[in-house]
Each structure stands twice: as structure tokens, then as C-alpha cells.
Amino acid sequence: MGVGMKKWLTIIVLFLVAVGGQGQMANTEKYDLLIKNGTVIDGTGAPGFKADVLVKGESIFLISNTHTASISAQRTIDATGRVVTPGFIDNHAHGNPLVTPEFKNFSAMGVTTIFLGQDGDSPENISEWMNQVEAKNTTINIGTYVGHGAVRNQAGVKLDPKPSYWDRRKMAAQVQMAMEAGCFGLSTGLEYQPGSFSKLNELIAIAKPVGKRGGLVSSHTRNEDDEAVQNSIAELINQGRDSGCAVNISHLKVVYGQGANRAEAILNQMEEARKQGIAITADMYPYLASYTGIGIVFPDWAKPPNNYTEIVASRRDELADYLRNRIQRRNGPEATLFGTAPWAGKTLAQVAIELNKPFEDVLIDDVGPRGASGAYFVMNQELQDRLFLDPNIMAGSDGSPTMRHPRGYGSFAKVIRYYVNEKNLLTLEEAVYKMSGLPAKTVGLIEQKRGLLKAGYAADILVFDPHSILDVATFENPHELAEGFEWVIVNGDIIRTEGEFTGKHPGKMLRKH
């Protein structure tokens, strides 16, 4: 009997046993991993069910609710009292896999796949970088977007507010090459330079190659402030409509907005776009503070290409008034927490007291628009909660191994701890869908058989007791690993067992087909 026939007979026997539910598996084939006695939550949002999961090589071989005592596996995990879920997918992450290929902060909170190249920022030679990551042997899977800012720089457009037709063609060609190299889409950072200099015609032109390859535009929109956020979302919707792209709002939030009604207006805007045939989603992290460079509070006229020193000399009073008003509207200097030296862990208010000067003078003289990064406590819990409950909103950390914000170490654990265990706002199945099936569908991983627990899909798997999940990281101690994800499996290899890292590096550089 040939090898192929033996394989098919094995599959038939396993299938008949799964359907019949009573017989023994007359099977001598060796498998790599058996996860038994657990409750399978498959990532689709469907109710969990009792079943065993059988892994062979890098893939799930069988999910069955029948007796599996006769199966011979190299490793068995007894998942009694635990759930078995897909590994989580972080559609909006930061970090450098060439420097920290372990990404322990992500895997400790159940993330087995991250997407980099966010907010318009990616390596300029993205194809070469992807090859380097592939050779690095990461612990978890890595996918990437190509960044709009990187494309602008590589095409020589840089800070030009009016790129020519030929400049736009050049940028579109760069995006097309990045897509052909395996990027999953395009990211924009329209609140940052150089993305802030772009107009809609440029955004449409560079997105068309993404649409042709079925990719995604994921955007840090132009302005997240309460009075401007919907106009910014409308710009993204128009980009998607005229380029043929699916679009995603990065780290959806409303800065100093209040209440669930504000959230409803945004969700209705997104739903109206869907009715017009535009696929629009968003990702969110479960914290009320953002994190970015301090330049976010400075006016555009105080940033490049303008000379900051000259601006301070000629328009100091105007700049001080602007900063004073902007910081006060963003909940005051107490709501800005520095995340970089020499003031890391201190608020702007504390630094102002230490330096014995008004906080606006601290920003002008001691910090400057490029002098620090920080966390900004500018969001409303009721509003953010209502946004996150929408079925088209997925979890995303916007975090990294080094950022001084707990979202990089706690986001996915906090979704379970806060939304499921404490507030009962989501079922565990709904939460798992937001962290696996939905991002996989949005980014295009379902086509690569990732993001769900199904036979034939990649064996990226978690085993845990949901009541033991804890996000330990805080703003005071932001680099504390999450707890409770007992077994984390990537491409069939166990990278975390009973709470300890194994040292395995089975991650892959994922490329869009």
C-alpha cells in the first residue's frame, strides 16, 4: 500500500470515529501534540464545545469530541477546566524583530501573530527587511504593512505638500512593489509628518495598488479630537471608496469626547459606509491613555519644515498660548505622563513644579516638539467601551516591548479580565473572536488558514483558564508580563508551557499571497 493511500485511510478512520463518537482509533501514526479535555473556542464567535485537538507538524490535524485514548502523541496537554483558542492576532503592533525576536511581551498575553509597519512608518527597503526577519527566527509570527511615510521618503517626496502627478505615480509604484513582496497593505499616519502633508488625491493614488491585490489600508487618521474625528474617518472612507480598498481605523479613540452617544455617531458613520459597499473596521486597545511623541500637542507651524528656534524667537507668546490651551483641553498637565528620559514616569505637572516654571514654558524650552514621548489620559471610559463592543471592532495593542505604556504588555489579557470577567460586557467567545477570527479575516489571514481553530489551519493555539488571566502591567510599571496563558503554541511548537518560556523560535515572516 502506498504512502498516499495510508494517509487517506488514516484520515477516513479518524473521521469515522469523530462522527460515530464511540469507537477506538485504530491508528498507529504518531502525532506531535494532543490537547485533551478542553473547551474549544474556535475564533468564529460560535459557542465553545468540548473537544480534543490533535496537532501534526505545523498544522491542526483534527478537532474531535470523541474518545482519543488510542492516539499516540509525543506531547499531551490536559486542558481540563481550560479553554483552547486560536492564538491572538495583533493587527497594530510596534517593535523591531531584528532586535527583540522573542517578543515576550506579546506571547505572554496570548499573541502569536503581530503586524508591524504602522502609522505610516516602515523600513524603506521593505522587501530586504522582510528577508532579514525571515532569517532571524522569531518566536511569534510577523506580518507587515508598508508605511506611507516611508514611501514618501523613498520616492523623494518627503514633506512636499503638493506632489506632482509623476510623484504620485512613483509612490504608487513603490506601494505596488511592497505588495508584491508580501505586505498585507498600506499604513498611513496622517497626524504625523510626512503623512500630514498629503491630500486625498495622493491617498487614493497610493492605495489603488493595495486594492488591486486585495490588501488593507490601516490608518492613524488625520485628527482624533472630538470635533474632527468624524471628518478624519470620512477621509479614510473616501480613500477606500475611490481606491477599491478595505480600510481600517488604527487605535480608534475620541480625544476628550464624552459618552456613549458620541460613540454611536461614529459607529453609525461606519455602518453607513458598509451599506455603500466599503469594508471598514477598526482596532482598539483597552486603555484610556494614548501614547506618542510630544509633537502631538505642538501646532504644525512649530514643526518642520519650519525652523523651531525661529518660531520660538518670533512667536513665543502665540506658541505658549496654543500649548497652554491645548494641554488644558487634554485634561491638563497632570494628564501628560512622560515615557522617555529624563522625565520618564513623571507628569508634565510634576516636571513643571520641579523646574519651577509654567508647563507651557517646560514644553517650549526643555522639551520641544521632538524631545519626548508620553502617555496622554484623554479618553472617556463609557465612550471607548461602547466603541469596543461593536462586532466590527477588533483588539490591537499599539504597543511594543520597550514603550512605557501597559498596552504593550497587557492589552489582550485586559480584554478578557475587564470586558469578560469583570464587566460581563462580552462573552469569552465574542472576546476571542475580536482577538483572532476578526483580525484574521480583516487582514487576510483566513485565506492562509490562520486565525481559527479548524483542521488544516496553522497550529497557533492557546490553552488557559480564563478566570486566571491577569494584566499585570501598569503605567507605573509598564513592562510586567501578563499572567495566565499557560500554554502558547506557534506553528505547532510550544513556546510557553505552564507559564514558562521554552526558548523555541518557530515564528514565521508572513507574506500576503
The pLDDT tens digits for 226-256 are: 999 999 999 999 999 999 999 999 999 999 9
Distance CA 250, CA 439 (A): 12
Q: How many helices (H) and strands (E) does the chain have?
A: 15, 21
Distance CA 50, CA 184 (A): 34
The verdict on 201 and 282 lying in the same domain is yes
Q: Nine-digit cell at 410?
A: 497587557
Q: Is the pLDDT of residue 465 over 90?
A: yes
Structural domain contains residue 264: yes
pLDDT tens-digit readout, 19-62? 333 333 435 578 999 999 999 999 999 999 999 999 999 999 99
Q: Nine-digit cell at 297?
A: 500637542
Q: What percent of the chain has pLDDT over 70?
A: 94
The verdict on 329 and 403 lying in the same domain is no
Q: Which residues pair with 375 in a beta bridge?
A: 291, 337
Q: Which of 393, 419, 446 is the last residue of a domain?
A: 446
Q: Is the pLDDT of residue 5 over 60?
A: no
Structural domain contains residue 335: yes
Structural domain contains residue 231: yes
φ/ψ (deg, to 5) at 468:
-100, 0
CB 354 within 8 A of CB 243: no
CB 132 within 8 A of CB 109: no
Q: Nine-digit cell at 195?
A: 503623512
pLDDT tens-digit readout, 102-124? 999 999 999 999 999 999 999 99
- Residue span of the structural domain in which 219 resides: 88-287+382-446
- List Cα–Cα distances, 328 to 312, 378, 487, in angstroms: 20, 11, 46
Q: How many domains are there within the chain?
A: 2
pLDDT tens-digit readout, 473-498? 999 999 999 999 999 999 999 999 98
Q: Nine-digit cell at 245?
A: 480598498
Statement: the pTM of the whole predicted model exceeds 0.95: no
Structural domain contains residue 14: no
Element (H, E) at 84: strand 83-86
Distance CA 153, CA 162 (A): 14
Q: Which of 377, 399, 429 is the last residue of a domain?
A: 377
Q: Is the pLDDT of residue 1 over 80?
A: no
Indicate if the alpha-carbon torsion angle 98, 104, 106, 110 is positive or negative: positive
